[in-house]
Structure 1
Amino acid sequence: MLLDLMFERRSLENPNVPLTGQNLQEYLHGDGRGAQVTPTAGWRLAAVYSCIYVLASSIAQLPVAVLRKQGNRIEPGSDHPAHYLLHDAPNDWQTSYKWRETMMGHVLGWGNGYSRLLRSRRGELLAIDRLLPQETTLVKIGGRWVYASLSDGGTAIAIPPEDMLHIRALGRDGRIGISPIMQNAEAIGLGLAAQRYGKQFFDGGGQPTGVLTVKGELGKDAWERLKEFWKKAVARLRSEDNKTLLLPADLDFKKLTIEPEAAQFIESRKLSRSEIAGLFNVPAHMINDLDKATFSNISEQAIQFVRHTIMPWVQNWEQELNRRIFTRFEREAGYYIKFNLGGLLRGTAKERAEFYHYAITDGWMTRNEVRLFEDMNPVDGLDEMLISVNARPISQQQALPGPTDPQNQ
């Protein structure tokens, strides 16, 4: 009953109109013709969408696996139900890629990504269903925290914390993340305003495109007919391939040129893109802002992106998955989840060859392990470790003959 009251949708003025976040925003802040900033509106800004796509796709494309540590050995945990759900398909509607991409998009847009863990009566994990962040919240009922959400059928449901995957953006209270879009509403609002003005500007609404003059005097009726003629002529010009505007002999049109200062909003949009890229900690060149990019620093920025942008999010995901997917008994048995960052750090053919060479000759990788990394089948006889003759344990080193030894005489 309490959850039904929480999610009851009723208009502030008309009970027959459902109350949603959108019409509440319009009621409080107008009809939206201004640069109103909401998570949904923020996605319409090209720079914001680009940053969210870069981060969401980067997390989604990482290989994820369930592993098990037993003593000093690490083995695949493919016997656990979570392996298929995380590696292939968490539910009937999404692949692992699309589920992680959607969850990450929710985190970056709304500050929180929610997915419900569906288990059997024996506690076995059956599926992972994503929930909409705008329809999910954390509430305290009877001294216990629970997640209140809506099912696909619109029924209010209560989910205990142990059955909820909750990926959070940076927050203040440790329980709920804050939307990066709303946290930086002023900067994103400036970008939305510049984008809207740019459309109006090039559509002819930003400033007059020209001046239409007549060679004689016009009466009131003639003036109204002239305005109607001009509207139809411009509309025909925009809808047809013919770009030549025909005017009667008694009319003259002079086009207004754009002053350089009037077009400075383009620079404002570039500044907005750079600032928004900084808000999401995404290198500017990854959202096609190449003004200050060079071939030398792009490679280094790509490495910094993995280390300082993707790695924190990977840690966020891994720790939340490990504490919710597995029971305490399973964690004690050695099960854990690991994202593989090797795909994002994969170097050129020359760099990989040098890396593999040192790994083989230093004796910490076999040649078949290298072939596996390169998606090649193993070959008989290549599972034995190689070691450099000049690199042996100290205990195995034999005393070398000195200059006074009889052997040197």
Structure 2
Amino acid sequence: MSFFRRILGLETRSGSLGELEALLREAHETAAGIAVSSDAGLEYAPVLGAVRAISESVGMLPCHLYRRDGDDRRRADDHPLEKLLSRLPCPWTTAYQFKTDMTAALILDGQAFAHVARASDGRVLEVVPLPRKSVTVETDPQTLEPRYRLSLSDGTHRDLDRTEVFHLRGLGVVPNTGLSLIRAGRHAIGLGIALERHASRIMARGARPSGLLKAPGRLNAQTIERLKSSLQALHSGSESGSTAVLEEGMDFAPLTFNSVDMQFQEMRTFQVAEVSRILRVPLSLLSEMSRVTHANAESLGRQFLSLTLLPYLRLWVETIYRDLLTEDEREDYYAEHTTGALEMADLGSRIDAYVKAIAGGLMEPDEARARENLPARGGEAAKLRFPMNTETGGATDA
């Protein structure tokens, strides 16, 4: 029995229908006639791009554990949970992989699960991500608490206690159960997939002809075959691009895009905007740049942080508070993400922000150096500074 099965105490039963039930729940056709499951949605490029933009951004932002010390706070480097949050949740998964994969599952399924292994005193030893769709959540009719049932693909089952589960749950209309954004928006996504498939079929059949040959009268079969052979020879191999000689009084009429073709293109663009609405990702991050200007590009970046990422980051820290801290620890400890990596993406913006923060007395020089992985200077150069027009006697020694 593997270590994973040992710590979970999994038992084997025949006839597991967990994956089949999940498939049947998701495999409902949309109005476009296409079944859109959470996994099938990833085959649509705008959905894949949006899921990557959110999950990878959340994964790259460092998450640390802090301890309140009166009116001050400091990072809890001595707490075992700090290492799990910032480095290795379990021996085979990095913090970036853990947060990225869990956030992607949250977007696709509405929730994500991990098993929490604890010591006898309640301390968390490791957090092991569980396979998607392997956990079923029910609500206790008496206490309204969630009850968890783990079912793996080989038929093993186990009931998990609430203290053993890290349950990352997003928007939901059913108690203790998250709502899949892909399933909720499946009709719009299904239409986008239908348009993609239609365009692919057109291209597979050689796209559209460049023009038509018009004949004043009826052509016999021999003339038609001779014309086909002649045109194919003129548009293939080394003779491609040669001059065509028409016969039987024929005329060549080139084909151009009509209003229907243009509307098809607009529909494909509109479906990208629909994905943007569903997952609340700026169109610029989905490479739809038709409405992006130099004036609003920076604003769209701020909106991605404030309106898209911050709700996910808040969900992460509150779930850590609920599922990974003991009741005694909740009084003094809390988790928080460092969003500076997104707020100051380029060197010029970072340096300008550091200079203003140091000059305004908000940050010590050594704090700024630490954020850039530079060694501390110490001494007078590292002391907190205040603007000359606001400091009082002795303020520079604060």
d(CA) in 1 for partners of 2:153 and 2:197? 35
From 341, 356, 359, the counterpart of 1:358 = 356
SS at match of 1:328: coil
Q: CA deviation at 1:215?
A: 6.1
Kept in 2, the 8 Å contact 1:145–1:160? The answer is no
d(CA) in 2 for partners of 1:255 and 1:88? 66
SS at match of 1:344: helix
SS at match of 2:148: strand
From 16, 19, 23, the counterpart of 1:8 = 16
d(CA) in 2 for partners of 1:255 and 1:93? 64
Q: CA deviation at 1:343?
A: 0.8
* Compared CA separation, residues 242 and 160, structure 1 to 2 (3 A): farther
Corresponding residue for residue 312 of structure 1 = 311
Matched, 1:166 2:167: yes
* Compared CA separation, residues 53 and 35, structure 1 to 2 (3 A): same
Provide Cα deviations, 1:335-384, integer angstroms capped at 9, x if missing partner: 21111111110154444344333322333322222222222111132222
Q: CA deviation at 1:208?
A: 8.1
Paired residues for 1:128-139 under 5 Å: 128-139=127-138
SS at match of 2:34: coil
d(CA) in 1 for partners of 2:121 and 2:153? 25
Provide Cα deviations, 1:191-245, integer angstroms capped at 9, x if missing partner: 1111111111111288789989996448xxxx9xx9xx99xx9xxx9xx998969
What code does the residue aligned with 1:191 have? G
Matched, 1:185 2:205: no
Corresponding residue for residue 55 of structure 1 = 54
d(CA) in 1 for partners of 2:154 and 2:17? 15
Corresponding residue for residue 334 of structure 2 = 336
Kept in 1, the 8 Å contact 2:59–2:99? The answer is yes
Q: CA deviation at 1:38?
A: 1.2
Corresponding residue for residue 198 of structure 1 = 199
Corresponding residue for residue 322 of structure 1 = 321
Deviates most, 144-153 or 57-66: 144-153
SS at match of 1:320: helix
d(CA) in 2 for partners of 1:24 and 1:207? 39
Kept in 2, the 8 Å contact 1:119–1:127? The answer is yes
Matched, 1:41 2:49: no
Kept in 1, the 8 Å contact 2:191–2:271? The answer is yes
Q: CA deviation at 1:135?
A: 2.2
Percent identity between the two aligned chains: 23
SS at match of 2:133: helix
Structure 1's unaligned 5+ residue stretches are: 11-17, 246-251, 397-409
d(CA) in 1 for partners of 2:140 and 2:378? 63
What code does the residue aligned with 1:293 have? V
Kept in 1, the 8 Å contact 2:112–2:167? The answer is yes
Provide Cα deviations, 1:97-132, integer angstroms capped at 9, x if missing partner: 111111111111111111111113332312111123
Q: Which has the larger radius of gyration?
A: 1
SS at match of 2:375: coil
Kept in 2, the 8 Å contact 1:54–1:286? The answer is yes
d(CA) in 2 for partners of 1:110 and 1:330? 31
d(CA) in 1 for partners of 2:327 and 2:345? 38
Corresponding residue for residue 151 of structure 2 = 150
SS at match of 1:166: strand
* Compared CA separation, residues 93 and 353, structure 1 to 2 (3 A): closer
Q: CA deviation at 1:173?
A: 2.9
What code does the residue aligned with 2:356 have? Y
Kept in 2, the 8 Å contact 1:7–1:156? The answer is no
* Compared CA separation, residues 181 and 7, structure 1 to 2 (3 A): farther
Corresponding residue for residue 345 of structure 1 = 343
Q: CA deviation at 1:290?
A: 0.7
Kept in 1, the 8 Å contact 2:12–2:155? The answer is no
d(CA) in 1 for partners of 2:15 and 2:79? 36
SS at match of 2:178: coil
Provide Cα deviations, 1:154-182, integer angstroms capped at 9, x if missing partner: 41111122221222221113411111111
Corresponding residue for residue 88 of structure 1 = 87
SS at match of 1:134: coil
Corresponding residue for residue 125 of structure 2 = 126
* Compared CA separation, residues 21 and 142, structure 1 to 2 (3 A): closer
Output the aligned Cα RMSD: 3.9
* Compared CA separation, residues 91 and 152, structure 1 to 2 (3 A): farther
Q: CA deviation at 1:134?
A: 1.9
Structure 2's unaligned 5+ residue stretches are: 1-10, 242-249
Matched, 1:392 2:391: yes
Q: CA deviation at 1:35?
A: 1.5
d(CA) in 1 for partners of 2:351 and 2:110? 41
Kept in 2, the 8 Å contact 1:106–1:133? The answer is yes
Q: CA deviation at 1:74?
A: 1.5
Q: CA deviation at 1:302?
A: 0.6
